[in-house]
Structure 1
Amino acid sequence: MSAHPLPGRDASYWMATAPGPERPPLTEDIEVDVAVVGGGIAGLSTAWELSLTGRSVAVLEAGRLAAGVTGFTTAKISALHSLVYDPLRRSHGAETARHYAASQQDAVDHLARTVAGLDIDCDFERAPAYTYAAGPASAGAIEAEARAAAEAGLPVHHVTETGLPYPVAGAVRLDDQAQFHPRKYLLALADGLEARGGRIFERSRVTRLREGQPCQVTTEDGRKVTAGAVVVATHHPVFDRALHFARLSPRRELVVAAPLDRDRAPQGMYITEDEGKRSVRTAPLDEERRLLIVTGESFTPGTGDPVAAFRRLDAWTHDRFPAAGPTAWRWAAQDLDPADTVPLVGPFHPGARHTYVATGFGGWGMTGGALAGRLLTALITGSDVPPWAELYDPRRLKSLLREGKALLGTQVEVAQHLAGDRLHVPRVDSVADIAPGTGAVVRVDGRRRAVHRAEDGTVRAVSARCTHLGCLVSFNQAETTWECPCHGSRFGTDGAVLQGPATRPLERFDVPGEPPAEDGGHTG
């Protein structure tokens, strides 16, 4: 059966409405004070903050700026992160929860100051944030979160009424949070960085890192950047020497967006862990309408049925917001959840002296990225290091001990994919059984291949083993991509890397007797 059409345009609203200028790739060896690998909000925020201290900075992005995770976010800027303060207080203590609250709220306020200071037109709006219980079963967790967040120093309120058009069993409300257009913000920040002498290179995938004094990073075509310090801000770290992939669990969430009359739009930003997790906000669309943005249906990349999940999310959206128009946009976002719920921002590994990492924001990358920029700049310059730096330190030993159970569960799941997936019987017996618009892992000449058949009948076949650690990839029909269930690497149908930690493409192969797709470009 051919791929079923899904509602809405298959594209991120943020990407489509702020394309931005192309920047050149790195074509020569250069030297700078700091090399930042990754051009999302964490990388660009770090580069910007470093430029304010007079450091020379180069940003190297594998694709386009702010076109990875940042270009597909829901773009909430908030210190209220669903249910985080009560778990932090219970597992790490009250002081840890206070540090987390102070650092996240500082990031909210700093980002707001940056928008104002650079006069960035990015649809920045102050709004209350809510974490709510959809039913009475989770009302107790909401009450506990409200108490913990208040104890952590946030001016929260426990409420039973919200701006949603349906009842809730209770909610935590934190006023004066914010939302914005992430691409407009970051493209303006990139312009500001370049105006200060910073250098930005797109389509410059970094594949090697040499630590030392100085450090050196090398792109896939052999160009080198020598730097006094290196920041790895690639969402999933692309270098495995610190084994961060073992502490991070990839999670993919779907997004649908539909127009809604301004007088029907809910005021504020909302999230619940109930009903398959749901996140709701709106954004300016035109003088009469706002864009309703709903996120949910979490799943591990390479698992589940994203097509059915998109349909569930779309149905929920129009059931809860009947005044909304037809879905206009749909996309998906990928997050990394750290085993102890706290992001990893700081020295790359225990022996690191001049290399740093920012990762594991758990779905809250807007505040996390702003926080990372401030914290990493303080660590690199050795000045004004905040009191909460130790909380985010990737080398934290106490948290590593607490992570043990979660780490074990994650690695057991990875081991099952490494071993079990290779023994799993394919869902189709041969390439001939793959319908137009679909893909499957099948045996070709005795070897497993990931094969996609386009709507015109042509096929692309690539290696079925992820180039990161060798897990078998799986086809995501909703996004026309190959995904690794172990650590979240994603590839186009031509094998091109769309998302790490993989840095090498899947090898391409011909399929005897099948019409090959034309070379050039990738889907997804």
Structure 2
Amino acid sequence: MSAPQLPSDNRSPWAEPASTMSSERTLPERVDVCILGAGIAGLAVAERLRESDLSVAVLDARHPGAGTSGRSSAKVSTLHGHLAEKIASAHDMAAAVSYITANRHGFEWMQKVAAQLPESNWTTIDAVTYATDTSGERAIEREYECFQRAGVEARLETTEMPWGTHRALICPSQAQFDPQGFINGLTKRLREAGTTIMHPVRATAVSESRNSVEVTTDAGAIRAGFVVVATGLPILDRGLHFARTNPRTSHVIGLAVRGPELPGAYLSASDPLRSIRDARDPEGRRVVLVGGEEHRTGTISDTLSCQQELLDWSARHFDIVDVPYRFSAKDYLTPDHVPFAGPIHPASSRIHVITGLNKWGFTNAPAAAAIVSAHITDSASPDWSDLYSATRLPMAGFDELAKAGIQVARYATTDWVRSLVKDPRHPGQPLGGERQPGCAATGVCTHLGGIVRWNNAAETWDCPLHGSRFDTEGH
């Protein structure tokens, strides 16, 4: 029998963007709240504002779910590997408890909304963090202590998995779902309730005055009382969040396998990092999703080798029939493992951001949205608002972020000639040359001048400085 092969195209098993997501580019002149980004963060803010008397417009440069939200492995859990114990180390136990509380709130919000959206294919499962070495065992024991202090149910036990018998921390009654199906359903629900959702509309500038904020887009300008920037990494530099986050790319393959369904959604606490869960594709076929091989965005060109490494590992542990899917997602990590949410800087009361969701956006985003919506409606802020503050300077972990910055500094441009990098799609030709009439690109990122690198798995140009991504023609 021949060895399983990666599929030729880059695609996920999730639902396609709904046909009801008709393109709309006629902007209203003014709204109370303008949200930039129609991923889970932006839509969670819109949903929280739905029952207010505020007019809301959501703008997305592509379509709802086009970014990380629609390309996720889509686990919804209060247990985030062993992130809480890392937060306890970076801050203190009170911060870890606050983080768990915030994400428990985020989980319950997602559960409530998904119950009204059959497209989400919500499935209740156990979330499992397992250890393969002594270091991992110590980490999950510390995580268990954090959960005990937070009063959230979890248990430690030794359990058998297809890839071995391991010590594990189990959080029961968590979930997995179809993220694009969820976003399709939520987008439809918001539109029916009167929320304006427009795409493809790309914001190019945001200008704050005393009484309002003007958003300039490629479809015109719109004025709002408040603006929420929920675009993965904020498109605005004024909060310097690009210097306080680490862009990371993770890879996922989808396997058709023989054997029983998995009883949980798994994440390793030890290297090599592996994320494993069952899913159903649009045809109802069972697929096992195996993720991992994380790296800083834009520092590896042969990203197909990362996906091949996942396949080689999977072939040792599963009876693989076929490999119908492969995809990747980009996330932004913070030095202290806590997201940023709230006013973009201390002098701003009208521009808010949500970023740095640390690969756990489906609970962190609703928790962050609770902070932002409370600011906008002048309501009581949730208990975790200070922990998530977008203006904090997290010194814990900042040394690692600085080291990462030094490692990629060599990709920054110092001379325009360096932009004429070789184009792997056209051997012997520089990227700066024209490909077809009216279309040309250079190897320089439009943000801060980093040298982009070709990503052969996603077929994009990725910048290692702050994670900017461009299609094959530089858009």
- Name whichever of 187-196 and 410-419 sits farther off: 410-419
- TM-aligned CA distance change 1:453 to 1:152, over 3 Å: farther
CA distance, structure 1, for counterparts of residue 330 and residue 121 of structure 2: 23
**What whole-Å deviation, never above 9, does each CA across 1:203-254 have from its counterpart, x for those lacking one?**
1000110112111111024x11111111000011111111100011111011
Once the two structures are TM-superposed, the CA of residue 402 in structure 1 deviates from its matched residue by 2.8
| Structure 1 residue aligned with 2:133 | 135
Asked if 2 retains the 8 angstrom alpha-carbon contact of 1:452 and 1:493, the reply is no
Asked if 2 retains the 8 angstrom alpha-carbon contact of 1:79 and 1:177, the reply is yes
1:402 to 396, 414, 422: 396
Asked if 2 retains the 8 angstrom alpha-carbon contact of 1:86 and 1:145, the reply is yes
CA distance, structure 2, for counterparts of residue 459 and residue 200 of structure 1: 31
1:462 to 431, 438, 441: 441
Structure 1 residue 235 and structure 2 residue 232: aligned?
A: yes
The aligned amino acid for 2:255 is A
Asked if 1 retains the 8 angstrom alpha-carbon contact of 2:15 and 2:178, the reply is no
Structure 1 residues 237-256: aligned runs within 5 Å: 237-256=234-253
**What whole-Å deviation, never above 9, does each CA across 1:384-436 have from its counterpart, x for those lacking one?**
31111111011125xx33354234223323433226898989996xx7xx5xx
CA distance, structure 1, for counterparts of residue 429 and residue 36 of structure 2: 37
Asked if 2 retains the 8 angstrom alpha-carbon contact of 1:75 and 1:179, the reply is yes
Structure 1 residue 178 and structure 2 residue 165: aligned?
A: no
Structure 1 residues 279-294: aligned runs within 5 Å: 279-285=275-281, 289-294=285-290
Once the two structures are TM-superposed, the CA of residue 139 in structure 1 deviates from its matched residue by 2.1
| Structure 2 residue aligned with 1:80 | 79
CA distance, structure 2, for counterparts of residue 420 and residue 168 of structure 1: 52
Give the 3-state SS of the residue equivalent to 1:389 in structure 2: coil
The aligned amino acid for 1:296 is G
| Structure 1 residue aligned with 2:157 | 159
Once the two structures are TM-superposed, the CA of residue 365 in structure 1 deviates from its matched residue by 0.9
Asked if 2 retains the 8 angstrom alpha-carbon contact of 1:464 and 1:473, the reply is yes
| Structure 1 residue aligned with 2:110 | 111
Once the two structures are TM-superposed, the CA of residue 106 in structure 1 deviates from its matched residue by 0.9
Asked if 2 retains the 8 angstrom alpha-carbon contact of 1:276 and 1:298, the reply is no
Give the 3-state SS of the residue equivalent to 2:88 in structure 1: helix
| Structure 2 residue aligned with 1:483 | 462
Structure 1 residue 265 and structure 2 residue 264: aligned?
A: no
- TM-aligned CA distance change 1:443 to 1:291, over 3 Å: closer
CA distance, structure 2, for counterparts of residue 472 and residue 287 of structure 1: 41
CA distance, structure 1, for counterparts of residue 82 and residue 288 of structure 2: 23
Once the two structures are TM-superposed, the CA of residue 372 in structure 1 deviates from its matched residue by 2.4
**What whole-Å deviation, never above 9, does each CA across 1:324-364 have from its counterpart, x for those lacking one?**
32111111111110111100011111211111000101111
The aligned amino acid for 1:7 is P
| Structure 2 residue aligned with 1:506 | none
- Name whichever of 310-319 and 60-69 sits farther off: 310-319
Asked if 2 retains the 8 angstrom alpha-carbon contact of 1:136 and 1:169, the reply is no
Once the two structures are TM-superposed, the CA of residue 23 in structure 1 deviates from its matched residue by 2.7
- Name whichever of 284-293 and 67-76 sits farther off: 284-293
Give the 3-state SS of the residue equivalent to 1:104 in structure 2: helix
The aligned amino acid for 2:125 is A
CA distance, structure 1, for counterparts of residue 261 and residue 289 of structure 2: 11
**What whole-Å deviation, never above 9, does each CA across 1:445-480 have from its counterpart, x for those lacking one?**
xxxx357989xxx99751111001001111112222
| Structure 2 residue aligned with 1:328 | 324
The aligned amino acid for 2:400 is A
CA distance, structure 2, for counterparts of residue 376 and residue 301 of structure 1: 28
- TM-aligned CA distance change 1:459 to 1:200, over 3 Å: closer
CA distance, structure 2, for counterparts of residue 404 and residue 478 of structure 1: 30
- Name whichever of 28-37 and 359-368 sits farther off: 28-37
Asked if 1 retains the 8 angstrom alpha-carbon contact of 2:119 and 2:184, the reply is no
Asked if 2 retains the 8 angstrom alpha-carbon contact of 1:439 and 1:452, the reply is no
Asked if 2 retains the 8 angstrom alpha-carbon contact of 1:439 and 1:477, the reply is no
| Structure 2 residue aligned with 1:187 | 184
Asked if 2 retains the 8 angstrom alpha-carbon contact of 1:482 and 1:492, the reply is yes
Higher relative contact order (CA 8 A, sep 6+): 2
The aligned amino acid for 1:259 is A
TM-score (norm 1): 0.83
Asked if 1 retains the 8 angstrom alpha-carbon contact of 2:23 and 2:198, the reply is yes
| Structure 2 residue aligned with 1:12 | 12
Structure 1 residue 340 and structure 2 residue 336: aligned?
A: yes
- TM-aligned CA distance change 1:427 to 1:471, over 3 Å: closer
* Unpaired stretches in structure 2, ≥5 consecutive residues: none
- TM-aligned CA distance change 1:73 to 1:451, over 3 Å: farther
- Name whichever of 359-368 and 413-422 sits farther off: 413-422
Asked if 1 retains the 8 angstrom alpha-carbon contact of 2:139 and 2:269, the reply is no
Asked if 1 retains the 8 angstrom alpha-carbon contact of 2:31 and 2:223, the reply is yes
Alpha-carbon RMSD: 2.7
Asked if 2 retains the 8 angstrom alpha-carbon contact of 1:135 and 1:168, the reply is no
TM-score (norm 2): 0.92
% same residue: 32
Give the 3-state SS of the residue equivalent to 2:118 in structure 1: coil
